[in-house]
Structure 1
Amino acid sequence: MDSHHQTTWVRRNSNPKLESISVLDIPSTVQPSAASKHQSSAGFATSLIILSWYPVFLTMLHMCSCSISSFIAVGWLNIVPIQYIGSRSQLLKIVALSSIFSLSVVSGNMSLRYLPVSFNQAIGATTPFFTAIFAFLITCKKETGTVYMALVPVVLGIALASNGEPLFNVVGFVACLVSTAARALKSVVQGLLLTSEAEKLHSMNLLMYMAPIAVVLLLPAALIIEGNVFGVIASEAEKKPWFLLVLAANMMIAYSVNLFNFLVTKHTSALTLQVLGNAKAAVAAAISVLIFRNPVTVTGLTGFTITILGVILYSEAKKRSKAIF
């Protein structure tokens, strides 16, 4: 047996460069098992896998949940006072927020067709860099020189990681950069709507207005990109009625996540929110390597490490700048 031979399992169509490698197909239905508990757990796992196959559709459902939950919380339960859109400028900002969010979702998931999750997360770690740029261009908000300098290794690290990525793909790289920049721009526009004295909205009110617009934008995107997703979900729900409960729980968790996202932006800053998100990126990158076993070079690993160190330096610089002012 050749000692250099190694079989690598990858997701089908996850990267055009991997089509020659042995592919692991995940069955759409659970195979019969002797033990019913194994059958039940396998069925649950398969349902989660099916949901992960349709990320744009799932995000659209998340926005549906945000729309309904926010309307109930604000318009029915009066948890917070309802706020009405007061100007055309405010309406345009809400539409822009929904559009930017939808763009980040679609382009981000498109990039995963061409790039491994670990490299995708490494590129996403540069979001604070884009956020700092957009914050300066749109709000004229300046950070201290130390804060800007701390973002330099974030960019240099990702440049090094890109150069050392064995599965680098131009289309995936551009799509991921677009998603990263859109996510940063969303944070800045979101911050404007949550903190501006003239157009300030409560988090629940903002979710109530922006989520329905996102649904309208994401629905055609899901149908175009993900095909007969409604038929697949309906079939799964027919076979397993409890699948709808899993879906409902997922949607409610998504509402909570989006609400906390807005609250963090309101009480800190758009840049801080994106830096916090990079801790998740590091964990996601490590887990993806363990699960998908995509090849990682020393150069790529070094670049990602430099990026994460840059994020840590930024956090320290931000704390010191707050202490000074």
Structure 2
Amino acid sequence: MSFTLKQSALTVSNSVFDKRSSITCRSLFLPCLNLQNNPKRTLLSLSKPLYISSFQSFNEKSVILCKAYEADKSPSPAAAEAKSEAAKSVKIGIYFATWWALNVVFNIYNKKVLNAYPYPWLTSTLSLACGSLMMLVSWATKIAEPPKINLEFWKALFPVAVAHTIGHVAATVSMSKVAVSFTHIIKSGEPAFSVIVSRFLLGERFPPAVYLSLVPIIGGCGLAALTELNFNMTGFMGAMISNLAFVFRNIFSKKGMKGKSVSGMNYYACLSMLSLLILTPFAIAVEGAHMWAAGWKEAVSEIGPQFIWWVAAQSIFYHLYNQVSYMSLDEISPLTFSVGNTMKRISVIVSSIIIFRTPVQPINALGAAIAILGTFLYSQAKA
């Protein structure tokens, strides 16, 4: 049972009130109280109403015991902070799970398309075109808030887009020549490129633990490459170039976007659009519309109409997984993002081996495990 007593000041006498006296009451059920004759009364000023949670009457001419608490009591700062951190952890967990799942699906459909339609330049172009179209529609229909950008934004984004375009095409070329698992094993060596470029081109220095973490990365990648049953130099070089390009993309992104207030989702959308403009003329020059048309006709005749779904799926999921990864980067530190990226590669490698039944020798698997472990140690040492 609960009652409300509202007044600017309340006379209290050790929670014990004489029922025989009276004052004006706001509740029809609360006994009227007056403490004017009580010598032990205390004045308590209230900025918020008191809620009477319970009262006990011992007899008609005896006392009434009241228990009250202050209304709208705010939670302690520590409790509010703990609740906020828990909600943030759940949000990041959802981002990570979605990011990994979308990436796995993209790699599966991307490999299916490249096996039937070996034109990585067009495949890369379609991925960027699909993502750009999706975001333009989202902005036009107000599903997503359009970014407020200017010419300076595009100037800063241009070198990032160049590096992103090179890295995207190189990775797709690699996956068109070798197994998905092998491409991602080599791409797990990206931290080694990051340290080398940062050290010799930017003059950055790192603690000894960072340099030591490069030993298992380089050693593991080398062991995996030497024992790869379907090794292909074009595929190997494509993954290596992709590593280098994405390192420069990250460097340019940090420098060019410093102080810019654009969300991760919109930032990646603009990056996709600019990369599409850069890539399209090169894709036409390297492969050409004639080759695309002939290859498309052959793929549809062999695979059937589902081939069109494969192409659409790999394009859609490519944009979605990258978009979620950039949204994750908005919420977490680069270190946590790096750990998440490492775990993503494990999920892609394992799932692709299972789905495509890629033959793996024990020593090849050992090399992959060593390289991924080195990547994890690097992320910890970088902290």
Percent identity, please.
Answer: 23
Residues 80 and 149 of structure 1, relative CA distance in 2, 3 Å threshold: farther
Shift of 1:101: 1.8
> Judging changes above 3 Å, is the alpha-carbon distance between structure 1 residues 132 and 220 closer, same or farther for their aligned structure 2 residues?
same
Q: Decide whether the 8 Å contact of 2:264 with 2:329 is kept in 1.
A: no
Matched, 1:314 2:375: no
Whether contact under 8 Å (1:191, 1:265) holds in the other structure is: no
Equivalent pairs counted in the alignment come to 270
Match of 2:347 among 283, 288, 302: 283
Matched, 1:209 2:270: yes
Task: Look at both structures and tell me which one has the larger radius of gyration over its CA atoms.
Answer: 2
Structure 2 Cα separation of the partners of residues 84 and 285 of structure 1: 38
Q: 1:262 aligns with which of 309, 323, 326?
A: 326
- Unaligned runs of at least 5 residues, structure 2: 1-107
Contact 1:193 / 1:201 at 8 angstroms: preserved in 2? Answer: no
Question: Relative to structure 1, is the Cα distance of residues 144 and 78 closer, same or farther in structure 2, using a 3 angstrom cutoff?
Answer: farther
- 2:136 is matched with 71
Counterpart-to-counterpart distance in 2, 1:130 and 1:210: 22
Report if aligned partners of 2:199, 2:205 keep a CA contact under 8 Å in 1. yes
Does residue 130 in structure 1 map to residue 193 in structure 2? yes
Partners of 1:300 and 1:110 in 2: CA distance: 22
Residue 157 of structure 2 is aligned to residue 94 of structure 1:
yes
Preserved CA contact (<8 Å) 2:161 2:275: yes
Change (3 A) 1:171 1:51: closer
Q: Does 1:58 align with 2:119?
A: no
Structure 1 residue 270, shift from structure 2 partner: 5.3
Task: Report if aligned partners of 1:154, 1:306 keep a CA contact under 8 Å in 2.
Answer: yes
- The structural deviation recorded for 1:153 is 1.5
- Whether the 8 Å contact between 1:124 and 1:180 is mirrored in structure 2 is yes
In proportion to residue count, which structure has more strand?
2
Asked whether 1:82 is paired with 2:147, we answer yes
Q: 8 Å contact 1:190–1:262 — kept in the other structure?
A: no
Q: Which amino acid aligns with 1:99?
A: V
Displacement after TM superposition at 1:143 (Å): 5.5
- Check the 8 A contact 2:335/2:380 in 1, yes or no: no
- Cα distance, 1:121 vs structure 2: 1.9
Aligned partner of 1:161 in structure 2 is 224
In structure 2, distance between residues paired with 1:242 and 1:167: 27
Instruction: Confirm whether residue 176 of structure 1 aligns to residue 233 of structure 2.
Output: no
Which one-letter code corresponds to 1:307 in the other structure? A
Contact conserved, 2:113 with 2:307, CA < 8 A, in 1? Answer: no
Contact 2:264 2:327 in 1 (8 A): yes
Instruction: Note the alpha carbon deviations across 1:217-269, whole angstroms, 9 max, x for none.
Output: 333444434763356658959x9888767765654443332222222334445
Give TM-score, length-normalised by structure 1.
0.64
Matches of 2:169 and 2:371, distance apart in 1: 25
2:173 paired residue among 110, 113, 116: 110
| Alpha carbons 1:108, 1:176 under 8 Å: kept | yes
Matched residue SS, 1:207: helix
Bigger mean CA offset, 73-82 vs 200-209: 73-82
Structure 1 161/72 Cα, relative in aligned 2: closer, same or farther at 3 Å? Answer: same
SS in 1 for 2:228: coil
> What root-mean-square deviation, in Å, do the aligned CA atoms of Structure 1 and Structure 2 show?
4.0
Which of 1 and 2 has higher RCO (CA within 8 Å, sep 6+)? 1
Does the aligned pair in 1 maintain the 2:120–2:173 contact within 8 Å?
A: no
Does the CA contact (< 8 Å) of 1:130 and 1:185 recur in 2? no
Aligned-partner Cα distance in 2 for 1:240–1:303? 38
Describe the SS at the equivalent of 1:80.
coil
Unaligned segments of structure 1, at least 5 residues: 1-44
1:218 aligns with 2:282: no
Q: Going by fraction, where is helix more abundant, 1 or 2?
A: 1
Name the stretch that deviates more: 293-302 or 63-72.
293-302
CA distance in 2, matches of 1:165, 1:217: 34
